[in-house]
Amino acid sequence: MIVIEYKVKDMSLSEQGLLKIEWAEKHMPVLMSIRKEFEKIKPFKGLTIAACLHVTKETAVLVKTLKSGGATVTLCGSNPLSTQDDVAAALVKEGVNVFAWKGQNNEEYYWCVNKVLDFKPNVTLDDGADLISMIHNKRQDLLKNVLGGQEETTTGVIRLRAMAKDNALKYPVIAVNDTPTKRMFDNVYGTGQSTIDGILRSTNLMLAGKNFVVCSYGYCGSGIAERARGMGANVIVVEVEPIKALKAVMDGYKVMSLKEAARIGDVFVTSTGNKNVIRKEHIELMKDGAVLANSGHFNVEICIPDIEILSKGKRRIRDNVEEYMLNNGKKIYLLAEGRLVNLAAAEGHPSEVMDMSFANQALCCEYIVKNHKKMEIKVHDVPKEIDDKVARLKLVSMGVEIDELTAEQEKYLKSWEEGT
Ligand SMILES: NC(=O)c1ccc[n+]([C@@H]2O[C@H](COP(=O)([O-])OP(=O)(O)OC[C@H]3O[C@@H](n4cnc5c(N)ncnc54)[C@H](O)[C@@H]3O)[C@@H](O)[C@H]2O)c1
């Protein structure tokens, strides 16, 4: 008998978690079709897959899919606040080795990462590069078992590319984040909708008529800006890259410096992948009642130490809302301790969009297992055929038919002889 190892908050939540997973499965048709394929061919038989991902109902559908393919799966959360405890319990019932609960301290977080690695994985799945960092920095003995890895988010890919540049990367990794069927949908529509969801669930503020400041006009930032505008907010964009700033202007947003926006903003959201974006000099200028949230990967985008320095006191006034009494007499409100607001205060991205991100993850796992011997040790793109397959399957699941090029058109697009 296979013994499942785990540490979760409360196993009595498993029934509720199973219902949540069932709901997600209903809305993830692409991944479910891949699961059917995996059940037949068992591509991961005898292999161990370690995942450090936000433990949500959508992740559960991915993990169950990998398990259906024959893998032993071991899972920890990729953020101390993002685990859905009912889902974690349900996954234990499904035979997954889970080490995750919501509200971990730093020590507990890394204890879970290490527990997952104790299973000596053959493939690693990361959202923020924590497994890969731990293996490379402290558990190099595990390198010999690993065939390859995958990375789900922008911040993780940036770290991996830096490792590859320094020749520090020791096994091939696929940057799932960067592939169009992930980044153009998950980061834009997923983060866009779920960030607004997290802000609304924690504050129930009316967004219409508010000055809503989005720090970044990258994939996530542009999605957040668009959804906030859809709710009737006056959206202000803050950027550092001139082309992105120009695009925001052309898309009809007000673009200004953060110092200017700080004076008039009602709600501020960061999603830059950078640190100390909102800091002392901005906080001092903010209006009484300003709300601050972050949707970037780490809790470093809003400088919380600066808020603490500027404050004479703080109290928790609602779930996920901390009120800071500033020395200048004003109050500001920090959501979800500056961690990913969409995952800490809401449920993360909707299933429909994670269907594509996780279909890529599942197919890339199969690709690594089949091709690891010929994969160079570097950060790889998702193979084009996988990206195309995910897009086609998604369109089919939505009942959308698209045209095909005629032979004449194909030839025309490849030729240079034909002129006017
Ligand atoms: N919340 C989620 O569920 C979720 C989902 C996907 C990605 N992410 C994370 O969100 C972050 C952004 O990802 P992305 O894919 O949009 O990246 P991106 O590279 O497309 O966009 C980041 C943008 O931030 C801008 N920027 C950097 N420093 C800035 C500053 N000081 N002020 C204003 N703008 C600044 C950059 O110019 C860039 O345009 C990353 O940390 C990523 O890991 C979160």
For residue 362, report the distance from its CA to the centre of ligand 1, in Å: 25
d(CA 69, CA 123): 13
CA count, 13 A, side-chain hemisphere, 327: 9
For residue 360, report the distance from its CA to the centre of ligand 1, in Å: 21
Tell me if 234 CB under 6 Å of ligand 1. no
Tell me if 220 CB under 6 Å of ligand 1. yes
Cα-Cα-Cα-Cα dihedral of 407, 412, 414, 417, to 10°? Answer: 140
Residue among 153, 188, 246, 303 whose CB has most ligand 1 atoms within 8 A, to mutate: 153
Q: Taking a C-beta distance cutoff of 8 angstroms, is the pair 393, 33 a contact? A: yes
Residues 341-394 pLDDT 10s: 999 999 999 999 999 999 999 999 999 999 999 999 999 999 999 999 999 999
Residue among 236, 259, 271 whose CB has most ligand 1 atoms within 8 A, to mutate: 271
Residues 112-161 pLDDT 10s: 999 999 999 999 999 999 999 999 999 999 999 999 999 999 999 999 99
Tell me if 154 CB under 6 Å of ligand 1. yes
Tell me if 265 CB under 6 Å of ligand 1. no
Q: Closest Cα to residue 57, out of 19, 109, 95?
A: 19
Burial status of residue 166 (CB atoms within 10 A of its CB: 0-12, 13-18, 19 or more): exposed
Q: What is the DSSP string of 160-224?
A: HHHHHHTT---S-EEEGGGSHHHIIIIIIIIHHHHHHHHHHHHH----TT-EEEEE--SHHHHHH
Tell me the pLDDT of the chain (420 aa) as tens digits: 678 999 999 999 999 999 999 999 999 999 999 999 999 999 999 999 999 999 999 999 999 999 999 999 999 999 999 999 999 999 999 999 999 999 999 999 999 999 999 999 999 999 999 999 999 999 999 999 999 999 999 999 999 999 999 999 999 999 999 999 999 999 999 999 999 999 999 999 999 999 999 999 999 999 999 999 999 999 999 999 999 999 999 999 999 999 999 999 999 999 999 999 999 999 999 999 999 999 999 999 999 999 999 999 999 999 999 999 999 999 999 999 999 999 999 999 999 999 999 999 999 999 999 999 999 999 999 999 999 999 999 999 999 999 999 999 999 999 988 766
pTM above 0.85, yes or no: yes
For residue 23, report the distance from its CA to the centre of ligand 1, in Å: 30
Ligand 1 atom closest to Cα of 215?
A: 33
